[in-house]
Amino acid sequence: MNMVGIITKKKLGQALDREEIDFFVEGAAKQTVPDYQLAAMLMAIRLNGMTAQETTHLALAMRDSGDVADLSAIPGIKVDKHSTGGVGDTATLVLAPLVAACGVPVAKMSGRGLGHTGGTLDKLESIPGFQIGLSEEDFVRQVNEIGVAVIGQTGSLAPADKTLYALRDVTATVDSLPLIASSIMSKKLASGADAIVLDVKTGSGAIMQTLEGSIELAKAMVDIGTLAGKPVSGIVTGMSQPLGTHVGNALEVKDAIDVLSGRTKGDLLEVSLLLGSHMLMLAGAARSEEEARGKLTAALDSGAGLEKLRQMIAAQHGDPAVCDDWTLMPQAAVIREVKCGQAGWVASMDTTALGLAAQAMGAGRIRKTDPLDYSVGFILPVRIGDRVEADTPFCTLFARNEIEADAAEAAVRRAVTIGDAPVERPPLWYAIVTKDGIRKACIIASDGAGGLFPDRTDMQSKNTL
Ligand code: URA
């Protein structure tokens, strides 16, 4: 077998067999195939696509290129949750404690921010003292003792994906559905969970900005999970505006604490309850969304979810007092309140631009080695569909200095369009994809009153991938 023959086959649009995919992936993991051939292969896949079978083989070969975590010492069904990346998306910090408070173990490996999107590890590290690097033994012990741990990757998970992802970044081949689906699923399958809930974002801040593309991505990942013998639910949720109102690391921790303490209702809570419901169902802890939601809401109302977060922070050497006193978190030097400045309706948001604005303030990295400023970011209380007046609060900026606050103010203003006609609120979620088919539905985004639950409007035919 040689790489030129495999590249030629994909260049001609033919399907690769398992041995050919294994050869390519082993070459990436062991660096025995040079980068120029790996890059040519990635471009051939980007241009000619892959069948569902090839995509699954690719994901499994990448999973098997490194360690596969063994969580069998944790009793019960371990359900992981993964988001394809968003802005103001701190659902993990809300739902992990809530799900654990319902008795379902949460053993989660999370990632760092990527481009305009935030990362759970960076948010957790904004809590003074918090450690994301536990050994596999301590990880398992913590989950068995308190029911929840969120850490960085242990061992060497999917090293082939590491090589290929770095090459995709510099060869314009990130935006390939089979490459995205296999990349995400290789790592999820290697992290040892028994079942997976995928939060597939759609809209202006998502990796797949069209609804069709997002549903296709969800289908591809559910198919990989199914063929690998793991139950997977793919929930397509909206990212046409930030999920929570807070963007930035310490600010997003505050948003999660506010939700868990019952002070904040709204879209972050609703999406967390939806994803958490599917986690409980896959774990066998509830038979329906309604039953699961009832359990999660009870854990929220009793304070058990917030208590789980406190326990997790303490177990991972952080200061749990941040749950009661946000001034213990890193504080920005400049805090600036900005008004809307014009009357109208919030019409649209360029959510990627909002994420990039936070990144430019120091909340995200431009180069991999850039240090973060955990204190910076913004609170954007306005939502698409809101009626605003000139003196309505538009955003609060948390910046390192006045110059960066000026730049952020201009960027956030550019990213949010205020129009002169009423606009419908975007749905919170669009589709739920499982091995049994696709359920499409829309709910109007919560206006802060909370308590809305999906209205099923349409059952679609079976997933045919
Ligand atoms: N996240 C990943 O892990 N891989 C991709 O290809 C895209 C997003």
Residue 310, helix vs strand vs coil: helix
Low-confidence ranges of the chain (pLDDT < 70): 442-465
Write out the DSSP string of 79-114: EEEEE---SS--HHHHHHHHHHHTT--EEEE----B
Q: Show Cβ contacts of residue 56 under 8 Å, excluding neighbours closer than 6 positions.
A: 182, 223, 224, 227, 228
Catalytic, 161? Answer yes
State the pLDDT at residue 442: 56
What homologous superfamily is domain 331-419 in, according to CATH?
A: Pyrimidine nucleoside phosphorylase-like, C-terminal domain (3.90.1170.30)
Confidence at residue 453, expressed as pLDDT on a 0 to 100 scale: 32
Domain boundaries along the sequence of the chain: 3-49, 79-155+173-323, 331-419
Ligand 1 pocket member 107 (CB < 6 A) = no
The catalytic residue among 46, 81, 123, 168 is 168
Residue-wise pLDDT tens digits, 33-42 = 999 999 999 9
pLDDT value at residue 1:
87
461 a catalytic residue: no
In the sheet where 437-441 sits, what is the strand order? 79-83, 195-202, 232-238, 429-434, 437-441, 456-459
Q: Ligand 1: does its nearest atom lie under 6 Å from the Cβ of 184?
A: yes
Q: What is the Rg, in whole angstroms, of the alpha carbon atoms belonging to the chain?
A: 22
pLDDT of residue 319: 98
183 lines ligand 1 (CB under 6 A): yes
- In tens, the pLDDT along 183-236 reads 999 999 999 999 999 999 999 999 888 999 999 999 999 999 999 999 999 999
- CB-based contact 246:377 (threshold 8 Å): yes
For ligand 1, the distance from its centroid to the CA atom of residue 304, given in whole angstroms, is 33
CB 224 within 8 A of CB 71: no
Q: Are 272 and 321 in contact (CB under 8 A)?
A: no
Residue 118 has what pLDDT? Answer: 85
Q: Is 102 in the pocket of ligand 1 (CB under 6 A)?
A: no
Integer angstrom CA distances of residue 20 from 1, 4, 185, 223, 227? 8, 11, 20, 21, 19
Rounded distance from Cα 171 to ligand 1 centre (Å): 15
Q: Coil, strand, or helix at residue 446? A: coil
Tokens of 222: 């559910």
Cβ within 8 Å of residue 176, ≥6 positions away = 42, 45, 46, 49, 168
| DSSP SS3 for 431 | strand
User: Cα dihedral sign for 306, 311, 316, 318?
Assistant: positive
The correct CATH number of 79-155+173-323 out of 3.40.50.1820, 3.40.1030.10, 3.30.70.20, 2.102.10.10 is: 3.40.1030.10
Separation of alpha carbons 98 and 236, rounded Å: 21
Domains 3-49 and 79-155+173-323 share a fold: no
pLDDT score for 98: 98
**What burial class does residue 114 get, using C-beta atoms within 10 Å of its C-beta: 0-12 exposed, 13-18 middle, 19+ buried?**
middle
Q: Hey, what CATH class is 3-49 in? A: mainly alpha
Local structure of 389: helix, strand or coil: coil
> What is the rounded distance in angstroms from the CA atom of residue 448 to the CA atom of residue 162?
40
Alpha carbons 168 and 178: distance in angstroms, whole number: 13
CB atoms within 10 A of CB 317: 12
Sign (positive or negative) of CA dihedral 51, 114, 264, 389: negative
What is the reported pTM? 0.91
336 tagged catalytic: no
Q: Which ligand 1 atom sits closest to the C-alpha of 168? A: 6
For residue 103, how far is its CA from the centre of ligand 1 (angstroms)? 30
CA of 184 relative to ligand 1 center, distance in Å: 5
Q: Which residue is it, tokens 């948390």?
A: 398
Q: To test the ligand 1 pocket, which listed residue (50, 109, 114, 163) has its Cβ within 8 A of the most ligand atoms?
A: 114
Out of 161, 267, 350, 373, pick the active-site residue.
161
Q: In the structure encoding, which two tokens stand for residue 136, read together?
A: 């596999």
Q: Report how far ligand 1's centroid is from the alpha carbon of 83 (Å).
A: 10
